[in-house]
Amino acid sequence: MSVRYHDETQEIIEWYKNECPVDGEELNDDIDNDEHVPVRHSEDSTAIDSISGFNHGERGLDQNLSDDGYSTPEYQQYCLSVSEQQSTGYSYNSSIEAAAYKFTEREAYLMRNFIENMAQWVSEPTSVFQLAYILNKEIPASQADVADLERHFEIEAPRRALRQPVLRLAILAFSSRHVSRFSGYDETEALQYHTQCLQLLIPVLSAPDTEVSEDVLAAIAILRQYEEMDDYDKRCHLLGTTRILNSVVHFGSSGGLGEAAAWLCLREDIYASLVSQQPLRTRLETYLRSSTFQRNDDVSWANRMVFLLAKVLSCAFQERQQHTPLDGGRSWSESLQQVDQEVEDWKRKRPSTFEPILFKPPCSGTEEEQYRGGLPEVWMLAPFHAIGLQYYHIAKMVILATSVSPHHLASDMRSGYDCFQHVRRTEKSIREHLLIVLGIAVSNQKTAENTLFTARHALSVWGGCLRDKRTQDAAIAFLINMEKTTGWKSEPLIQSLKAQWEEDRSVSVTSLQP
């Protein structure tokens, strides 16, 4: 098999940057102007549905890619299809089924792996059942789309992938990379699927008048998950998703797969903002018309907390002289206080179902300690309850960390000792919130696997606050177990945390020099 590797990272960055605002830069267009980029809901079009010839079973994965990347029959057929304007609906009937894509055995395996194990990652990236699947052990039904009861990425995305090559290739690339982490395969297959997906995506998004469908948004969101599995996350596709969402205001409130993909993109932007300590790229006004804010069910309450964390990050990492569109022209400090109050209002008004059904503080017994470590047990009723409560505690950590910024300390503290005491109290509070975040992940991983990744992100930011050896060991054990069950590399983070903890331990009076 002949494989030629081409690193398209810079090309992707330039492709997305052409129309994507830089950090902190506001778009000039009014949010109510819905004509930035035309939108097509795939349910209303047969343009892309008609494609059925993109068959790896016929071409073979080992076939060399075309030199220019855009001369394949599949690409030409795809470009022709996106210009068509015919309209029919998706329905299960003989004509649709006859035109559906025919999977090879390998592709069927990858698609099933995505449905049973990875659709839940696409809701909020993580899973713990992939090893069981690979080892042919019995596993429970997928808990896909933790904050989406209609399970769009588990049900709707694979169904559309039968006729949508761009969505199918994104799913196959993501699933292949996941399988390669456990089966000993190299990632050549995943890279080929990824490259072929880009061959379809790049010209579609590069053309200014091309309609952007929710299938395209979902495909890029899945490629963003693929990208997060890299040892060094370059976040190229994050630029793409935010560019689309900031230009197409419909997606945040469109319902269906489009809105599910929009909420996924927001969570991906939250992750990037959290670990990079940079403002969000996503325009939050896009989501204000979502039905989440009109409904009163538990899933809506969980999504509201996701939105509130996004507001916290957007406010906390903005330059203090700037204002977000949602802050009403208040000062930076006033905006932060306002969003903190909104977070506390969420906690006060949330349904009782968001209370843990069991809470145990960190244990001290030797035998139990080996099982549970220095983390609390926090049992929740359902996955979305776990996500909502976990995001609440992360929001509180961001707000607390902002309160010990040099600007805040200089303006609010009377003396150096006041500053010192405030920092110590704040670190203690952050540590308590962090332990609960980790406890939620460990205690609910069989029903809310998504919480593992959220906890990992929090640990990467605030893990240095863990001072006790027992909690440090528990954090390391958590990361090791997570790598075994998800395939996400943890060693760089483990080494970083150990270096921080060792630096704290090495400081002593004897090291001081007059």
Q: By three-state DSSP, how is residue 482 classified? A: helix
Q: 378: which strand partners?
A: 359
Give pLDDT, residue 378.
96
Give pLDDT, residue 160.
87
Backbone phi and psi for residue 377, each to the nearest 5 degrees, phi listed first: -100, 130
Residues in the chain: 514
How far apart CA 432 and CA 13 sit, in angstroms, is 39
pLDDT in tens, 357-414: 999 998 765 545 544 678 999 999 998 999 999 999 999 999 999 887 655 555 555 5
pLDDT grade for 503, boundaries at 50, 70 and 90:
confident
pLDDT in tens, 202-238: 777 776 666 677 788 888 888 877 877 765 555 554 4
pLDDT in tens, 160-170: 888 889 899 99
**Does residue 426 fall inside a structural domain?**
yes
Mean pLDDT on 463-485: 92
What is the DSSP code (8-state) at residue 146?
T
Residues 358, 250 within the same domain: no
Give pLDDT, residue 244.
61
Domain boundary among 241, 257, 278: 278
Closest CA to 435 of 411, 468, 483: 468
How far apart CA 266 and CA 514 sit, in angstroms, is 52
> CA torsion angle for 220, 221, 222, 228 (degrees, to 10)?
110
> CA torsion angle for 119, 155, 174, 193 (degrees, to 10)?
180
**What is the span of the domain harbouring residue 452?**
346-503
Mean pLDDT on 413-429: 80
* Contact call for residues 119 and 154 (beta carbons, < 8 A): yes
CA angle 511, 512, 514 (to 5 degrees): 145
Domain boundary among 256, 278, 300: 278
**Does residue 147 fall inside a structural domain?**
yes
Residues 430, 350 within the same domain: yes
Both tokens of 475, joined, read 């954090």
* Contact call for residues 47 and 211 (beta carbons, < 8 A): no
Domain boundary among 262, 278, 294: 278
Element (H, E) at 360: strand 358-360
Residues 364, 220 within the same domain: no
pLDDT grade for 46, boundaries at 50, 70 and 90:
very low
Give pLDDT, residue 434.
98
pLDDT in tens, 90-135: 333 333 333 678 889 999 989 888 888 777 655 543 332 332 332 3
**Does residue 4 fall inside a structural domain?**
no
Element (H, E) at 412: helix 406-412
Residues 147, 228 within the same domain: yes
Give pLDDT, residue 420.
80
Residues 267, 360 within the same domain: no
**Does residue 299 fall inside a structural domain?**
no
Q: 85: which strand partners?
A: none
pLDDT grade for 484, boundaries at 50, 70 and 90:
confident
Residues 354, 272 within the same domain: no
Residues 245, 372 within the same domain: no
**Does residue 321 fall inside a structural domain?**
no
Element (H, E) at 11: helix 9-17
**Does residue 72 fall inside a structural domain?**
yes
Q: 39: which strand partners?
A: 212
Count structural domains, the chain: 2
Contacts of 508 (CB under 8 A, 6+ apart): none
End-to-end CA distance of the chain: 67
Residues 187, 269 within the same domain: yes
Ranges assigned E (strand) in 168-266? 212-213
Question: Which residue's structure tokens are 């069910």?
Answer: 297
Residues 266, 359 within the same domain: no
Selection from 33-47, 179-193, 201-215, 488-502 with the highest mean pLDDT: 488-502
**Does residue 418 fall inside a structural domain?**
yes
Q: Which residue has the higher pLDDT, 194 or 39?
A: 194
For the chain, what is the mean pLDDT? 71
pLDDT exceeds 60 at position 432: yes
404: region left, alpha or beta (phi > 0 left; psi from -120 to 50 alpha): alpha
pLDDT grade for 199, boundaries at 50, 70 and 90:
confident
pLDDT exceeds 90 at position 474: yes
Helix/strand number for the chain, H first, E second:
22, 4
* Contact call for residues 47 and 81 (beta carbons, < 8 A): yes
How far apart CA 353 and CA 297 sit, in angstroms, is 11
Q: Which residue has the higher pLDDT, 169 or 419?
A: 169
Q: Helix 214-228 crosses helix 188-206 at what angle (to 10 degrees)?
A: 140
pLDDT grade for 198, boundaries at 50, 70 and 90:
confident
**Does residue 285 fall inside a structural domain?**
no
Both tokens of 201, joined, read 């995506």
Lowest-pLDDT range, 50-59, 312-321, 431-440?
50-59
pLDDT grade for 320, boundaries at 50, 70 and 90:
very low
Number of Cβ within 10 Å of residue 291's Cβ equals 11
Residues 225, 78 within the same domain: yes
What is the DSSP code (8-state) at residue 256?
H
Residues 68, 181 within the same domain: yes
Give pLDDT, residue 152.
67
pLDDT grade for 24, boundaries at 50, 70 and 90:
very low
Residues 256, 351 within the same domain: no
Give pLDDT, residue 498.
96
